[in-house]
Amino acid sequence: MSVAVGSKPSQSEDLRNLTLSGHVGFDSLPDQLVNKSTTQGFCFNILCVGETGIGKSTLMDTLFNTKFEGDPASHNEPGVRLKAQSYELQESNVRLKLTTVDTVGFGDQINKEDSYKPIVEYIDAQFEAYLQEELKIKRSLFNYHDSRIHACLYFIAPTGHSLKSLDLVTMKKLDSKVNIIPIIAKADTIAKNELHKFKSKIMSELVSNGVQIYQFPTDEETVAEINATMSVHLPFAVVGSTEEVKIGNKMAKARQYPWGVVQVENENHCDFVKLREMLIRVNMEDLREQTHSRHYELYRRCKLEEMGFKDTDPDCKPFSLQETYEAKRNEFLGELQKKEEEMRQMFVMRVKEKETELKEAEKELHEKFDRLKKTHQDEKKKLEDKKKEIEDEVGAFSKKKAAVQLLQAQQAGSQSTKKDKDKKKFLPFLKHPKTWRPLLTL
Amino acid sequence: MAEPQSKPDPDPEPKTEATVTGQDLFGYVGIESVLDQMKRKAVKTGFEFNIMVVGQSGLGKSTLVNTLFKSKVSRKSCNPSFEEGISKTVNLQSISHVIEEKGVKMKLTVIDTPGFGDQINNLNCWEPIMKYINEQYEKYLKEEININRKRKIPDTRVHCCVYFVPPTGHCLRPLDLEFMKRLGKVVSVVPVIAKSDTLTLDERQRFKERIRQDLWTNGIKVYPQKEYDEDAEDRILNDKIREKIPFAVVGTDKEHQVNGKNVLGRKTNWGVIEVENVAHCEFANLRDLLIRSHLQDLKDVTHNIHYETYRVRRLNESNLNGIGLSASPLASMNGTAVRKESESNL
């Protein structure tokens, strides 16, 4: 049976706007969508970057109206490390899984060149974890605990002059990875007129250095206005406090000084309310979306390209991930095989070497054995010769002994015959004229 | 775990006056405004919904879809001059419209399947449909594993397949069983009894019971599936629905006067069948299920379960063969890396 799948109309052509003749009911769709998320809960992760003692933990406590656990950090940290803590907050029927990440030891070292590195590594690690989950075969993205940083609050020290170079360098490294919201910490140390100058100096420095901070979205009518007015006050000058002071007849979060009381939630005193407004009440969802659709996509693109995947090759013929992967895989397998071959050859060579070594050793041993044997034989022979000599001598000696004994016996038996014997002995001499002469000359 | 006291503020956005007046803001942080933010964003991006209607010709598929969305969304209405003959093949045709209600925009795509079950030999007539569904998954998967991918991947996957059962009054036919069995695995199937104004209430009840029996005997899972109920609340709600499926529906786009009111109905010599009257037929139930309460759920089940199943199958396939898509470079590389390590221990 032949199959003809009907043509799917392209987006721009056949899309018509129809009017409904009655109430259908899909206007409840946003509610349906939101209900789903409510049951699952939301994730929100804030990273606080700033020097030790600048008020990061206090500000978090003030923002979320609660006391997060944790002790103040010491100033003796050898390097920057990131400490993450998760909390579950609930307000009416909304559950928020909040994670605050603190940079412990930032700005404390003498050499701060590498201070930004642990922060960048942490952010990248969160993206990597999400990417790994997304690339898995069996994945469960819908109940994955999102640990990617949605907002980075950068705490600027209230010097009153300008940004420190450490701040500039760190912000420049972070601006393509996370939504940066710069805030001026401990703003109660700056007078109002200085504050305005400080703010404009900071903003101009950020612009001139090309640091991209988070832009509050102005494309939606409902929030465009409020976002636009708030953007003017960037960076927000905040004061944090969890202590309450009696003002009038109410308790308010404030800091008490001998010369007055700084109210945290008074907009004349500091911009805390604006920060809370922007961060939580108006743009939380946008922050999450930007993290996912901009920063994470950028990371993903770079990471995949780094691994050698391409979408299109220089001639603009679309490569599919498949082909690239195929090629890479073959390359990889080829390399693997080559390495295997190499190893095998090396192994064979080693075996051969060992064999020759062993053979040589064997030969040596044989030679040694032969030598020793020969020496042994020589010695043995010598010994035998000596033995023979000795035996000969012994034999000679015993003969002589026997002869002497015989002689003695003869002498004792016949003394008389001695002269004869002598004569006999001499006679030959006498008879022989030759032997005479020496005698005569006597 | 810290929990702030929750004092729901009736006006979530505090006045931007200079001083703090009257309201007690200590306990309230404003986290719940994220719900509004999400709604606004969702409304701004708009929704997409793709519905497929399957059934023999003459069962009233196009009419029902028109009734559901109260506008002429079906193929027939778009090509009125088209002569409707029995087509020799199963043609899938999809028409898209944008409809708006109270600021919520929805891109609705209706996929029609004329020719299904109309031949003498209907063997494998579900194949073009399965192919189409899988093609949509494939398209989505390809876009998802692209390096430079779009922010919002266009979603053409079939979210819901409405299967029209002819009102025989007996039980499901082999074609119905075959089709629902196969398609129940890849898409959410919602069976409905078409043209149910030919059945009396008793007949209807018995027919439904037999259908449910048949479905259960054959292991066919229709929407809402029991396994995907997330919590007790969902289960209670879905159990109620499961007791009533398949819905017996009647469709029409004509209005008549009943008791002085204008209602959608079919006029016959023996009375007017009011489509939206739950005493007459279960159209309202179907509409509520599909649109008012479970539309997002249908999309979620398609995305989280059917699409993921397809993806797993596809990626495993390509890993085994070494061809085709392989979007799990890390996983596969991990696999080969492990192999390399084990081989180095020669």
Closest chain B residue by Cα to residue A31:
B39
Q: What is the pLDDT at residue B319?
A: 67
Q: Does A418 have pLDDT greater than 70?
A: no
Q: Let me know: does A183 contact A235? Beta carbons within 8 Å.
A: yes
Pick the range with the lowest mean pLDDT from A29-33, A153-157, A365-369, A373-377.
A29-33
Q: What is the pLDDT at residue A394?
A: 93
Tell me the per-residue pLDDT of A201-258, one tens digit each, with 9 for 90 and over: 998 998 898 888 888 888 777 788 888 888 888 888 888 888 888 877 788 888 888 8
Q: Does B190 have pLDDT greater than 60?
A: yes
Closest chain A residue by Cα to residue B37:
A285
Q: State the pTM of this model.
A: 0.70
Q: What is the pLDDT at residue A357?
A: 94
Q: What is the mean pLDDT of residues B267-291?
A: 85
CA distance A371 to A358: 20
Percent over 90 (pLDDT), chain A: 22
- pLDDT class for A389, splitting at 50, 70, 90? very high
Q: What is the mean pLDDT of residues B5-20?
A: 33
pLDDT averaged over chain B? Answer: 77
Q: What is the pLDDT at residue B344?
A: 40
Which uninterrupted H or E stretch holds A361? Answer: helix A321-413
Q: What is the pLDDT at residue B328?
A: 44
Angle, in degrees to the nearest 10, between helices B127-144 and B174-183 = 10
Q: CA dist A209 to A114, A157, A171, A174, B43, Å?
A: 20, 19, 10, 13, 37
Q: What is the mean pLDDT of residues B93-119?
A: 84
Tell me the per-residue pLDDT of A126-183, one tens digit each, with 9 for 90 and over: 998 888 888 877 888 777 888 899 999 999 988 888 888 888 888 998 988 999 999 9
- pLDDT class for A396, splitting at 50, 70, 90? very high
Pick the range with the lowest mean pLDDT from A185-199, A318-332, A360-374.
A318-332
Q: Let me know: does A15 contact B107? Beta carbons within 8 Å.
A: yes
Say yes or no for a CB contact (<8 Å) between A332 and B333: yes
Q: What is the pLDDT at residue A6?
A: 35
Under the phi-then-psi rule, with left for phi > 0, alpha for psi from -120 to 50, and beta for the rest, what region is A70? left
Q: What is the pLDDT at residue B342?
A: 40
Q: CA dist A397 to A26, A382, A384, A388, Å?
A: 142, 22, 19, 14
Q: What is the pLDDT at residue A404?
A: 92
Q: Let me know: does A168 contact A211? Beta carbons within 8 Å.
A: yes
Distance from the first to the final alpha carbon of chain A:
160
Contacts of residue A286 in chain B, CB cutoff 8 Å? 37, 41
Q: Tell me the shortest Cα–Cα distance from A333 to chain B, in angstroms.
A: 8
Q: Is B337 on the interface with A (CB under 8 A)?
A: no
Count Cβ atoms below 10 Å from residue A260 Cβ, excluding itself: 11
Interface of A with B in 279-308 (CB under 8 A): 280-286, 289, 293, 297, 300-301, 304-305, 307
Say yes or no for a CB contact (<8 Å) between B70 and A21: yes
- Highest mean pLDDT: which of A134-143, A350-359, B62-71? A350-359
CA distance A96 to A88: 6
Q: What is the pLDDT at residue B343?
A: 42
Say yes or no for a CB contact (<8 Å) between B71 and A19: yes
CA distance A103 to A80: 6
Q: What is the pLDDT at residue A437?
A: 56
Q: What is the mean pLDDT of residues B120-131?
A: 84
Q: Is B102 on the interface with A (CB under 8 A)?
A: yes
Q: Which three-class secondary structure string do you get for chain B?
A: CCCCCCCCCCCCCCCCCCCCCCCCCCCCCCCCHHHHHHHHHHHHHCEEEEEEEECCCCCCHHHHHHHHHCCCCCHHHHCCCCCCCCCCCCEEEEEEEEEEECCEEEEEEEEECCCCCCCCCCCCCCHHHHHHHHHHHHHHHHHHCCCCCCCCCCCCCCCEEEEEECCCCCCCCHHHHHHHHHHCCCCCEEEEECCHHHCCHHHHHHHHHHHHHHHHHCCCCCCCCHHHCCCHHHHHHHHHHHHHCCEECCCCCCEEEECCEEEEEEEECCEEEECCCCCCCCHHHHHHHHHHHCHHHHHHHHHHHHHHHHHHHHHHHHHHHCCCCCCCHHHHHHHHHHHHHHHHCC
Q: What is the mean pLDDT of residues A354-363?
A: 94
Contacts of residue A249 in chain B, CB cutoff 8 Å? none
Interface of B with A in 15-34 (CB under 8 A): 16-20, 25-34
- Coil, helix or strand at residue A115: coil
Q: What is the pLDDT at residue B21?
A: 22
Tell me the per-residue pLDDT of B291-311, one tens digit each, with 9 for 90 and over: 888 888 888 889 888 998 898
Q: What number of CA atoms fall less than 13 Å from residue A223's CA on the CB side?
A: 25
Q: Let me know: does A160 contact A190? Beta carbons within 8 Å.
A: yes
Q: What is the pLDDT at residue B25?
A: 32
Q: Does B6 have pLDDT greater than 90?
A: no
Q: Is B312 on the interface with A (CB under 8 A)?
A: yes
- pLDDT class for B7, splitting at 50, 70, 90? very low
Q: Tell me the shortest Cα–Cα distance from A139 to chain B, in angstroms.
A: 8
Pick the range with the lowest mean pLDDT from A117-121, A216-220, B56-60.
A216-220
* Bigger pLDDT: A307 vs A379: A379
Q: What is the pLDDT at residue A375?
A: 95
Q: Does B26 have pLDDT greater than 50?
A: no
Q: What is the DSSP letter of A82?
A: E
Tell me the per-residue pLDDT of A265-302, one tens digit each, with 9 for 90 and over: 888 888 888 888 888 888 888 888 889 888 998 998 88
Residue A230: both structure tokens together = 């708030």
Residue of B1, B29, B52 to mutate for A, most A C-beta atoms under 10 A: B29
- Highest mean pLDDT: which of A283-297, A339-353, B82-96? A339-353
Tell me the per-residue pLDDT of A9-51, one tens digit each, with 9 for 90 and over: 333 345 667 777 777 777 888 888 888 777 777 888 999 998 8
Of B16, B39, B154, the CB nearest to A34: B39
Q: What angle do CA A92, A96, A99 make, to 5 degrees?
A: 150
Q: What is the pLDDT at residue B91?
A: 77
Q: Tell me the shortest Cα–Cα distance from A314 to chain B, in angstroms.
A: 15
Q: Is A230 on the interface with B (CB under 8 A)?
A: no
